């Protein structure tokens, strides 16, 4: 009776070790690329939000129709954008966002 539990425990431990090894390899090989891709995607989203925010502030753009069509999809994320960009930032935070190699 104890053999299946021991075998099950060994399999769970092997799965855990495999998971840790794959996470370690991912961290060594592609994590920096993954972070950079997320940073670029956020900057593209921020550019779009700035375009929408310009419409909110009354700066006239030609693409008013398209802005109104996109607005329902982006209203939920717009609050996070405002909080992220309007908070006070330290100079060290700004420097840490740029990779200097």
Asked whether the predicted pLDDT for residue 26 surpasses 60, the reply is: yes
CA distance 47 to 45: 5
CA distance 30 to 17: 20
List, in order, residues 6 or more apart from 77 with CB less than 8 Å away. Answer: 45, 49
- Looking at the structure of the chain, the number of domains it has is 1
| pLDDT for 99 | 63
| pLDDT for 10 | 92
Confidence of residue 25 (pLDDT cuts 50, 70, 90): very high
Domain enclosing residue 78, as ranges? 2-97
pLDDT tens-place string over residues 42-98: 888 888 887 777 766 777 766 677 777 877 887 788 788 878 777 777 777 767 766
């Amino acid at each position: 009776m104890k053999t299946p539990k021991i075998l099950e425990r060994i399999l769970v431990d092997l799965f855990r070790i495999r998971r840790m090894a794959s996470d370690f390899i991912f961290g060594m090989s592609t994590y920096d690329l993954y972070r950079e891709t997320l940073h670029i995607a956020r900057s593209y989203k921020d550019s779009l939000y700035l375009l929408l925010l310009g419409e909110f502030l009354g700066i006239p753009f030609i693409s008013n129709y398209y802005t109104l069509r996109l607005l329902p999809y982006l209203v939920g994320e717009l609050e996070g954008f405002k909080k992220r960009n309007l908070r006070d930032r330290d100079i060290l935070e700004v420097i840490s966002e740029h990779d200097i190699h």
